[in-house]
């Protein structure tokens, strides 16, 4: 196990040094490695959830293999660093129209963090993106190395979107570098199998391990929550925040745990992200509502109806809820109309026989 950790640390160092590729910023790679090692130590010394050595070995093995594969492939493709683009287009973006230098790093960070939120949410909403993103959710033993369990095509999509944002805003290389440092550190932190005092309090502002753990739930109505990379304010603002303890981590059903199957998953058909058992989801949500009020009797029907409305809105969106209401109104109007027709026919029959 220790050898695998050393190998992962060495590979992480090589990858970050390749990505940054600037002598003046070389120390940053070692800072990130230090954070990674510290999170690993915290996981082993005081884990949030007890995991067997065999389970951790399996998770680290596939994450190391995927990490190496992505690093080698991206190197062979000679994909330019985002920092190169930042240096090239730094003088042509919207940030250059902001005179106050203090606002530039703030706005650049908020823009990148919001972009990652939107991309993350889209990866759960569209099958063409979920087919890659599900590789990240494939890990049933959440730990710091899960942060690097990403399909290489998802990495390319994220970097392509970041590149467009960098060019549009004119984010300088130094600002981008600091942003990437912060985001990478937080990504490792909130995937870590750790807990700490004040975690829920900090969760009001940032994504902490207990918040992100919900996002890796096997239940769709739970893992379609808490999309934030660093700040939790986006989830609060857009109504996607959930604070609960997931029953299980990973993907439902059999899930391959080898490199070839995970890489091939991005090139083969994938089950829809929407096949769900609504009745089960509604029952779970209603039970959760009843649990919050201490199972006091008399509110069962209200809990069920509220849960049904929330789950339908969560799975299908507001438009579907409105369509359902319109359909119910049409059905009711049709029933009333039929009843009136029958009444009129009876009246005619009555008067016709008089």
Strands (E), the chain: none
If asked whether residues 247 and 343 sit together in one domain, one would say no
- Would you place residue 24 in the very low, low, confident or very high pLDDT band (cuts 50, 70, 90)? very low
Which residue among 240, 267, 294 closes a domain?
Answer: 267
pLDDT of residue 335: 60
Last residue of a domain, one of 235, 267, 299: 267
Q: Are residues 107 and 143 in the same domain?
A: yes
Percent of the chain with pLDDT over 90: 33
Inform me whether the pLDDT recorded for 10 exceeds 80: no
Give the pLDDT of residue 308: 72
pLDDT tens by residue, 298-344: 777 777 677 777 766 665 555 555 555 555 556 656 665 665 565 56
Give the model's confidence band at 143: pLDDT under 50 very low, under 70 low, under 90 confident, else very high: very high
Number of domains in the chain: 2
Determine, yes or no, domain membership for 273.
Answer: no
Model pTM above 0.85: no
Instruction: Please tell me the predicted confidence (pLDDT) of residue 101.
Output: 84
Specify whether 68 is located in the same domain as 121.
Answer: yes
Mean pLDDT of 116-138: 92
Closest CA to 176 of 166, 186, 168: 166
Check residues 225 and 16 and name the one with the higher pLDDT. Answer: 225
Residues spanned by the domain of 315: 278-352
Distance CA 86, CA 27 (A): 20
Among 17-21, 53-57, 76-80, the minimum mean pLDDT is found in 17-21
Average pLDDT on 30-36 reads: 82
Q: Rounded mean pLDDT of the chain?
A: 79
Lowest mean pLDDT among 143-147, 173-177, 224-228: 173-177
Helices 318-352 and 300-316 meet at what angle, rounded to 10? 120
Q: Using an 8 Å Cβ cutoff, are 150 and 184 in contact?
A: no
Question: Does the CA dihedral 105-17-229-199 come out positive or negative?
Answer: negative
């Amino acid at each position: 196990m220790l050898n695998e950790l050393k190998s992962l640390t060495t590979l992480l160092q090589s990858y970050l040094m390749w990505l940054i590729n600037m002598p003046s910023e070389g120390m940053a790679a070692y800072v990130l490695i230090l954070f990674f090692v510290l999170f690993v130590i915290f996981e082993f010394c005081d884990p949030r959830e007890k995991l067997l050595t065999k389970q951790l070995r399996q998770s680290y093995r596939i994450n190391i293999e995927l990490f190496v594969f992505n690093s080698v492939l991206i190197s062979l493709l000679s994909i330019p660093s985002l920092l190169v683009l930042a240096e090239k287009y730094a003088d042509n973006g919207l940030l250059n129209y902001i005179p106050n230098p203090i606002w530039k790093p703030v706005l650049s960070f908020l823009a990148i963090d919001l972009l990652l939120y939107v991309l993350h949410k889209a990866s759960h909403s569209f099958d063409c993106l979920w087919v890659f993103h599900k590789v990240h959710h494939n890990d049933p033993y959440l730990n710091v190395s899960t942060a690097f369990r990403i399909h290489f095509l998802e990495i390319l999509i994220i970097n392509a979107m970041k590149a467009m944002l960098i060019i549009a805003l004119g984010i300088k290389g130094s600002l981008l570098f600091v942003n990437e440092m912060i985001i990478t550190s937080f990504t490792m932190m909130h995937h870590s199998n750790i807990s700490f005092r004040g975690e829920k309090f900090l969760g009001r502002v940032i994504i902490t391990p207990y918040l992100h753990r919900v996002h890796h739930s096997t239940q769709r109505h739970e893992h379609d929550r808490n999309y934030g990379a660093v700040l939790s304010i986006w989830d609060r603002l857009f109504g996607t925040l959930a604070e609960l303890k997931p029953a299980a981590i990973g993907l439902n059903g059999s899930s391959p745990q080898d490199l070839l199957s995970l890489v091939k998953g991005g090139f083969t058909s994938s089950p829809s992200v929407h096949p769900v058992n609504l009745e089960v989801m509604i029952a779970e949500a209603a039970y959760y509502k009843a649990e919050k009020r201490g199972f006091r009797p008399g509110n069962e029907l209200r809990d069920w109806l509220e849960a049904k409305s929330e789950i339908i809105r969560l799975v299908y969106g507001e438009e579907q809820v409105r369509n359902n209401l319109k359909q119910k109104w049409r059905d009711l109007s049709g029933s009333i109309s039929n009843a009136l027709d029958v009444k009129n026919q009876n009246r005619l029959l009555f008067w016709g026989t008089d």
